Every structure is written in C-alpha cells, then in structure tokens.
Structure 1
Amino acid sequence: MRNFFVGVLSILLIVTFLASASADRTSNSTVYRINKKYRIVNNSSSDATDVNLTFYAFDNFENWAYQRVLSENIALGFPKEITHNPDNRIVNVDLGRIESEKSVTISVSYLVRVDAVYMDLEPEGVRGDIPSGYENYTKPIDNLWQSDNPLIKNKSHELTAGLTNYYCKVKKLAGFVENHLSYELQPQECSAFWAYEHGWGDCAEYTNLIIALCRAENIPTKMVRGYLPFTRLYGSKTNELPEVGHKFAIVYLPSEGWVPLDLTYLIDGEFQFGNLSNKHIVKLVSDGRNLVRDSTISIPDARISYSYKKTNPNLQILISGQVKREVAITTKILSQIRSHQRSLEISVKVSNEGLRRGNGVKVKLTTENEYFDVPSPRKIPTLGPGESKTLQFELGMKKSAENKLVKAIVLYNAPGYENLRYEDRLMVTTTVSHDFFEPLVKMVKEILEKRFYLIILIMVLLAGAAFVVRR
C-alpha cells in the first residue's frame, strides 16, 4: 500500500513539471577560418609602378544575414587604407613598384562567425508599398540585368498580373526562374537575358535572371556574392577558394526589409526565400553598378591599377585560399520510431565537424507541450574534432498531432567561444488511440492546473498513507 501512494505522488510530480516548447530563434552557429592569398605577378620585361590592389574584406551583417568578423589579419608590409560603403568594407593597398619577372603576395586571414537566419515569411506579413529611396535598386544594368528588355519585361508582367502582394510577386517570379532554367556550371558568368534565352546556368545566371525580373516589376534587388563551402552544389564537397564562390539575391519587401533569396541552394527540394544557412559566407553586396567593365561582367573580388613607361606589363592577380570550420558542432534528427502506443523514439546525432573540441554539450528536444511530453535534456561532457554521438529520446504523446514542429537543439562552448547553438527540425504527425485510462489522466491534469487543489490532494494522500501505516 505504501508503494502505491509513493507511485501516485511520483506521477503527480512528473505531470506538474512538464517541459514547455522553446521559442528560441535558430542560430546554427559556425565559426570559419578563412585564409586567402592575392598574388600579383609581373611576367613582362617592364616594371609596373604605382601599383594599387583593391579587394573586399568580410564585414558584419544582421537581419537578412547574421555574420560577425571575430578577427582579421592582413599581413601586408605595405601601406593600406580600409574604407566603407553602405554594404561593404574595401581594402586599398599601395604596393609601389613591382619589377619585371617579380611577384608580390598579400596574405589575409579571418575568423568569421556565421549563423543561420529563418525569417518565417508569410504573405500576410508583407504589407504596403515600396517606400521612396530605393530607386537605384530597380534600375537595369546593361549587359547584366536587362530588366528593360521587352521579353523580360513582358514575362514579368505576365507572371505577376493580378498580384498586389510583393511576397506573392517575388514567389511567382522565383518559381518561374526555377522551372525555366536547368542547373549547369558555366565557364564564365552570363547575363540575365542570356539565361532567359538559353534556359540554363549556375547560381550566377539564376541570380541575374531573378534580379532582372524583379527590377522589371520595380522590386528593389541586390546581388550578394560570397562562399558556400562544404556542400555538393559544385559536384563534390570542397573548401578551396575560389571554387566555392556563390551568388544569390536579396529583395526588398514592404514591412520586412531586405530578404535573402537563393534559388540554387535547396532544402528538401525548395529554394530558400527568407532563409539563409550558416554555410552562406557573405563577401560582397552590390546594386550592380560596379559589376560591368567595358561591357563585360567583372565581379570585383580584387582589382589592380598601375602605371608603366613603355610596354604594358599586364599584371595578373592569382587568388587562392581555403575555408576551414574552426568551431562547428551540428545535430541531425535521424529517425522517429513509434516504440509503443504512447511514445515516439527520436534518434539525434551530434557531430563535431570543427577543429576545436566542444565542452559542456547539452542536447534537448523542444516542441508543443499540448501534444507531447518532452524528455529531459542529455549532456555530453566533451566532444572532440571528428567525433559524433547518437542519443535516443523518448517523446511522450498526449494526443494526436498533425505536422507539429520538433526541434533538436545543441548548446555548447568551445575554447575561446561561448554560448554556441545548433538545431535541426522535424515535422511530426502522430495518431493516439483513446483507451480506458485517458479520461482519468485528463482529470488528474485538470486538477493539477489548480495549485490549491494540488496541495489539498497531496495532504489527503499523506494522511491516508499515515493511517495505513498505523493499522
């Protein structure tokens, strides 16, 4: 009899302290170490003088992207100047003279933290019209974004006819580009009109076409160029520069501001609109006016100017580098298995893909408390580089659920870094059969919602237990 009352008290305490779903925003933090070299080569018989190298440095971003430059080392030995425009940091280096048959190498290294962004866009959240002041982002760019071309203009009008919501307009135009183009790597970047006519391209052509279509509808857009390492977008996972160069767009939506739009980075077969992964490292943002030189597309990763007396030395810039994950613990929900009628078994894999060990790793599930009993968090004291662990969680089912979000969240520290986070998401649909005990469980829960009655109930149970012991 004593064991019965102890069991009842345990059940009451467990039900009282049910876990609630977390409302935290996704971070999916990764810290990258980026090493880059600019080698300026003079293979001619003439000296080059007044040599100036200009390149874009990584910068901090918020809202449509989350990126933080944690450290920067520009090993120059030459005078330099860092300037800013509204979207970029630009480094100008005075190299002076480069003699014939000589070269100069500039080494740059960065530590950059990149977090994923999930804006959870909905048409209802995009209200009103484009405000004034964004006209420069709606203009055509000759030989690149031909938004004034009659074919592109007619197609954009055809696709958006009858639509007034800017979210719906962009979604419609992006869907057309996705279906009209086939993904195929290009040896050199081609314009929006070229992509429209030929029907194929890589991330550059997809981006150029969606920008031209949006600008034809007076929707402000910009181009974003950076890196997308450790993906299979280029046929194999690589981290070499500049092979992992990537391009996507940002569009301006009323009441939302600038929003990322990547048509070639697919998740579950869908392009990303309002979402940006932690693999997107941003290097350059442009309204297009600096992307064409002498009627040729020329993305300004690095440019050089110089003087000479007789023969043009035709200096070359050779760019190389590598991206490494300094800190990167990831999580992946592997499976969900119904272990019995009232619970799901969730398998979660935690992997350290970075170069530094993770300490105090905490793994937890969060979801809607109305439908599930959330298990207690699990801890991994330390997780070394290249190590992974698979944890099992039992998710209690309270009632049937359809497309309910379950998150597996990892919180951890690493040497030199604190409060890092990564998560994976799973939509769960379950059916719970009613049984004899369900009304009793429901009644107990309703009682427990009243703290006053809970105290009285526990006192009665304790008094009953004492009475039984005396007998």
Structure 2
Amino acid sequence: MKKCLPLLLLLILAVTATPANAQPSSTYYELVELSYTINADRTLNAHEKYVAYNSSTRTYTYEIKLQIATDEIYDINVWSDAESLDNYEVEKTAEKTTITIRFKLGGRKRLTYHISYIADNLVSGAGPIYEGKFGGIILGPRDFSHQKHIVEIQGLAGSKLFLTNPDAQILEGDPPTVRYETSIDAPGSFEGLEVQFCTQPTYYKLTLTERLTNQSTDKIDDMRLNMILFTEEASWQFAALASSSYQVKTMYIDNENNWHGVFEVGEISPGATKELQLELIYEIDVYDPRISENDVGELSEASWLTAYLEPDNKWESDHPLIVQAATSAVDGETNAYLAGQKIIKFVVNRLNYQTQTTRHGALWAYLNRIGDCSEYTDLSIALARAAGLPARAMYGWGYSKDNLGGHAWVEFYLPNKGWQPADPTWAETSGDHFVKLNPIHLTRGIRGMNSSESNLTFAYRGASPEFKETVNSLILTASGAAQEYINAAEYAIVVAEKLLADSPSENLSERLQLAQQNLEQAQTASDETQKILYAKQSVENANEVIRALGKLPEETEFFIDWDTLLPVLSIACVIVVVVLSIYVIRKGV
C-alpha cells in the first residue's frame, strides 16, 4: 500500500518594473511572512505579509503577480499599511488563482502590504490526517529576493504535529504551530514547508466479513475458524472485539501477544455460503516517543534475542547477497538506532514501489528491486537480522481515501527502548516514519517467530472451502466510540464468564466483578469521555480473566479429517484381516 504525495501549495511571484530602464534588483522584500491556519473542513485560512524596500533613489511602479494553486479561493482581501496600492485584480482559471497587485514605491522607501484569503483543495489527507506543503516559491531573475522568508502553519486544536520537512521550529501551545525561516535569492526557489498534523485519538469501527463458500458436491462439517483479532504489543492503540455473528468459542493470546478468537461455523452444505461477521473497535494515537541515537544501545546488546535474528522462509538473512547488502547498508555502524535508520534508507533507495499479486520475500525484492509493503517489510527484516538487529513484522491496515487497505511494516528491537516501529513503504512518499507512526496504522498482528503473514487458520472435515475476507471501516465520533466500547465490554464479560464457569477461580472472579462494575459505570455515565474510560477498564479487567484461562482448543491443534481417514481405515482393516487369515491358515498347516 502506498500513500499519495501531499498536495503542493506553490506561490509564484512574477515582478515587472517600469520604466524599462529600472533595475529591479535594487528592490527586494525585507520580510515575507506567510501564515496559514488549517481548518477542520480542510480549508486553509491564509494571511500573507510583504515588506518591500526600494534601495535606489528613484520611484518605480511595480506589478506583482502571485499565483495560488487552486481556483477554490474565497474572501480575498488586499490592503496596504500606507494605502499606496493603486489597485489589484483577481483572475481564476482551471486550478489556479492569480492575484495581480500594482503599486508605486519611492527611493529609499518601504511598503508593507497584506493578502488574506480562504482556500480549498490545498490541505490533503484523509481521516485524522491533515497535511500539505505551504509557502513554496519560485523566483525569476527579475523577481524580488526575500531577505527573510517565514512560513508559519497552525494545525487544528487538540491535534499533534507528526512531521515537518524541512525540520522547523515547533512553537509551544495549542493549537500546534510550526515556524520555518529562510532567505531566497532571485533567481532561486524554496519548495515549501511540508507538514502533517494528526487529530487524536482516532476511533475506528472495523467490520470484518469472513465468507466461506462450499463449491464442491460434498458437505463441509465442523468448520472452525481461528483468527488473529488484534495485538496488545502496539502501545499506541487499544483494540477490542465488540460483536460477532457467531459466538466466540474461546479467546486466547499466542506467544507473540496476538489475541485470537476461535469461532465454530458448523456445517456448510454443497453450494452454500456462510459468513462470519466481526466488529472491532480500534483507538489509535500518534506514536512519537522522540527517541534519538543517544537513547539507544549497541547492536551487541540485542544479541540475546536469537529468535528474531534467525532466517526464515521470506526473510533470507543468511543468503550471501543479503549478508553483503546488510554489511554495505550498515557500513560498520554499531549503534542500533543509526543502524536501523541506515537499513530503512537502503530499502527505500533499493526498491521501487509496485503492487504485487503474491508475496515474494526479501531476496526476490532485493534482486528485482520492486515490491509493495510486503517486500519493503521483508527486505528490511532480512537486512536487519543479517546486521545483528532483531526485527519482526507488523501486519494490519493503513487508512487512506476513507477506507482501509492491507498494510505491513517493521519493528526493530532497540536496546534500552525495546521494540520500535518503522514504515519503509511510506517513508518514501510520506516523510519520516522511523520510530514513529501516525494514527492511520492499525496493527492486527505481529510475526517474528516465523515469516507467515496469515491471520487465519481453518479446521474442518470434508471438502475444502473457498475463503474471502473483506474489511470495511468507519471513523467514529467520541459518542459513537463510547457505545462501541460498551458493546466490547459486554462481549468480553460474556467470554470471561464462560471461562470462569469451566475453571472457577476466586481471584479471577474478583476481576470479573470489577469488569461488571466498570460496565455499570460506563452505562450510567453522562459524559462520553467517562463512558469510554469506564468501558475500557471493563474490557481490560475482563481480558485479565480471558488471558489467564483462554487457550487454544486441543482439537484444533490435532485435527483429524475423518472423511479422508475412514476409507484408509477400511482398507487397513481388510489388510489386517487378510494377514491374520494367512497367519491362521499357516498355523493350521
């Protein structure tokens, strides 16, 4: 999955001076201050301040053309502190607005003028993401140089700044604001200040539909699905199961802290289809712990994590080409943080993004230099392991264009800071995602012990089913999230009660009582924040019971396909009878 490049706001200044023998280089901007405010509806409020200075002794008349990369622009105002603007004009064409300003400026004089407007189609992003590139400019040889060019961008109240490019000053306070200062000589250019703000927390309701179809002429018996639902390893998210069309038989946690649900679907007749529908709630925050290389230890300090340093089917970290590439990528670096950065940079430079129909693995990606998020992740893991940096995969979804798509990224183990995420796929187009993630990454499961990316296993008797999973998502308001959390608490309590009935425990019974009390508090609270808080506590307490008692059913570990086995047993019985008959006959003889 690859994210689209953010839209670019390009302000192009074209300056024409008269009389013809004028020297435009004698006039320049002492200050250009461009201030932008991003609104919740993705419109942009702009206020631009220009201070022009004519260093010559002559008076000139100037015509300034400013181009804004959208025709969806409103409430345009142009004014001067000295009221010496002759006039201005606004012209809109396809996806462009041109503001033309004319004024006279005497020798050794300054003029300050302002432009304000509201614009649409300049702020991109979906869901919780608000992003763009603002304040860029291209200056021709006759344009005014900018002695001081300042771009200041303010995000939404309560949002969090995720990235800036280039690095900018972060001003304290809410809403979050960034400020960047530079100078631009004519001819010259400045690409603009790229920013991404994220609202948080973001609440997602996911509807997973598992469709099972029996295309054979034989029935399918005792169909059971074992699914990874979510992981508790991702500290930036909270996830819970809110409902299912088939009651879960049990829930348990595997050896990599993935939560599983086991569902019994039963018989599927020839030509029939059954669907298991699940509703999950995810709460995602921006993850940016602001770790630097100074916080992280050496590669040698992570050597004890041998399970995450070994090669596997798609992570060929012992292949000579991968070992050679890892040595080149890391280039002798021993700090784990810097080594991880170098590996991500190597992968981004090595691969070109191209959607694949099947997963190929690290070696194939390295040799063919293409791949999607699976290949970017696999190559990052293989290179890291070859370099002595423990690595594992995170599988889930990425939110884009108002829906979810399957996505994968990597985690490195950084001594002193533990497992930390990095997204090599989006690093290429969407800025730095090393030891930070924006809230459009939803983690379903983690794999490090093996390279399988499967989230589902089957157990059944008879014909094999055809399977398809679809995922739909909805971003919830706090009110909608509160109700989903209450649903999740009720669901978790039912599962915990069933497990406790089979395996009574006094201590765990107290936990369940806490979960029930928290649920009652959530149901009676008048404030959405309190509803969410109590409902989450209820889920967490019920999950402690499930964590202690939930386990993988034995019959899914040792499944016997009786429809296949019975004919074999019949033949075996015949053979046994024949052998015994021969033995008896010989004994008789």
Q: Shift of residue 320 of structure 1?
A: 1.4
Contact 1:27-1:117 at 8 Å conserved across structures: no
Contact 1:61-1:68 at 8 Å conserved across structures: no
Q: Shift of residue 52 of structure 1?
A: 1.6
1:322 equivalent in structure 2 = 472
Q: Shift of residue 238 of structure 1?
A: 4.4
Q: How does 1:364-443 map to 2 (within 5 A)?
A: 416-417=528-529
CA distance in 1, matches of 2:459, 2:429: 45
Q: Shift of residue 325 of structure 1?
A: 0.5
Q: Amino acid of the residue matched to residue 416 of structure 2?
A: S
1:447 equivalent in structure 2 = none
Structure 1 SS opposite 2:274? strand
Structure 2, unpaired ranges of 5+: 1-170, 177-197, 483-525, 533-589
CA distance in 2, matches of 1:149, 1:271: 29
1:396 equivalent in structure 2 = none
Q: Amino acid of the residue matched to residue 270 of structure 1?
A: G
Q: Amino acid of the residue matched to residue 329 of structure 2?
A: L
**Aligned residue among 297, 306, 309 for 1:138:** 309
Q: How does 1:48-447 map to 2 (within 5 A)?
A: 48-63=220-235, 66-69=236-239, 72-77=242-247, 80-85=249-254, 86-128=256-298, 129-131=300-302, 133-142=304-313, 144-230=314-400, 237-239=401-403, 244-266=405-427, 269-289=430-450, 291=452, 299-308=453-462, 313-327=463-477, 416-417=528-529
Q: Shift of residue 189 of structure 1?
A: 1.4
Closer/same/farther in 2, CA of residues 38 and 250 from structure 1, 3 Å limit: same
CA distance in 2, matches of 1:132, 1:327: 45
Greater than 4 Å deviation, 4+ residue runs: 22-27, 354-357
Closer/same/farther in 2, CA of residues 289 and 61 from structure 1, 3 Å limit: closer
Contact 1:32-1:111 at 8 Å conserved across structures: yes
Closer/same/farther in 2, CA of residues 166 and 23 from structure 1, 3 Å limit: farther
CA distance in 2, matches of 1:186, 1:171: 25
Closer/same/farther in 2, CA of residues 177 and 267 from structure 1, 3 Å limit: closer
Q: Shift of residue 248 of structure 1?
A: 0.1
Q: Deviations over 1:284-334 (max 9, x none)?
A: 10015261xxxxxxx3122222222xxxx2211121120110038xxxxxx
Q: Deviations over 1:43-71 (max 9, x none)?
A: 110011232211111243454xx111255
CA distance in 1, matches of 2:337, 2:329: 13
Closer/same/farther in 2, CA of residues 316 and 196 from structure 1, 3 Å limit: same
Q: Amino acid of the residue matched to residue 269 of structure 2?
A: E
Q: Deviations over 1:161-219 (max 9, x none)?
A: 33121111111111111001011111111110010000011111101001000010121
CA distance in 1, matches of 2:232, 2:472: 20
1:331 equivalent in structure 2 = none
Contact 2:302-2:390 at 8 Å conserved across structures: no
Structure 2 SS opposite 1:264? helix
Closer/same/farther in 2, CA of residues 96 and 70 from structure 1, 3 Å limit: closer
Q: Amino acid of the residue matched to residue 322 of structure 1?
A: N
Contact 2:315-2:451 at 8 Å conserved across structures: no
CA distance in 2, matches of 1:266, 1:217: 21
Closer/same/farther in 2, CA of residues 132 and 208 from structure 1, 3 Å limit: closer
Contact 1:87-1:286 at 8 Å conserved across structures: no
Q: Deviations over 1:21-56 (max 9, x none)?
A: 459999821000111111111111001123221111
Q: Deviations over 1:199-242 (max 9, x none)?
A: 01111110100100001012111100101112xxxxxx2415xx
Q: Say which structure is richer in helix.
A: 2
Q: Shift of residue 263 of structure 1?
A: 0.9
CA distance in 2, matches of 1:95, 1:356: 29
Closer/same/farther in 2, CA of residues 283 and 62 from structure 1, 3 Å limit: closer
Q: Which has the higher contact order (CA 8 A, sep 6+)?
A: 1
2:111 equivalent in structure 1 = none
Q: Deviations over 1:389-420 (max 9, x none)?
A: xxxxxxxxxxxxxxxxxxxxxxxxx9734699
Q: Amino acid of the residue matched to residue 90 of structure 1?
A: H
Closer/same/farther in 2, CA of residues 268 and 147 from structure 1, 3 Å limit: closer
Q: Amino acid of the residue matched to residue 239 of structure 1?
A: N
Contact 1:224-1:247 at 8 Å conserved across structures: yes
Q: Shift of residue 266 of structure 1?
A: 3.6
Structure 1, unpaired ranges of 5+: 1-19, 231-236, 292-298, 329-353, 358-413, 421-471
Note the aligned Cα RMSD (angstroms). 2.9
Q: Shift of residue 75 of structure 1?
A: 2.2
Q: Amino acid of the residue matched to residue 274 of structure 1?
A: V
Closer/same/farther in 2, CA of residues 193 and 417 from structure 1, 3 Å limit: same
Contact 1:203-1:247 at 8 Å conserved across structures: yes
Q: Amino acid of the residue matched to residue 528 of structure 2?
A: G
CA distance in 2, matches of 1:174, 1:267: 10
Contact 1:290-1:300 at 8 Å conserved across structures: no
Contact 1:55-1:300 at 8 Å conserved across structures: no
Shifted more, 188-197 versus 152-161: the winner is 152-161
Closer/same/farther in 2, CA of residues 34 and 415 from structure 1, 3 Å limit: farther
1:332 equivalent in structure 2 = none
| Larger Rg belongs to | 2
Q: Amino acid of the residue matched to residue 310 of structure 2?
A: K
Question: When the two structures are aligned, how many residues end up with a matched partner?
Answer: 296
1:40 equivalent in structure 2 = 212
CA distance in 2, matches of 1:174, 1:283: 22
CA distance in 2, matches of 1:193, 1:217: 15
Q: Shift of residue 159 of structure 1?
A: 2.4
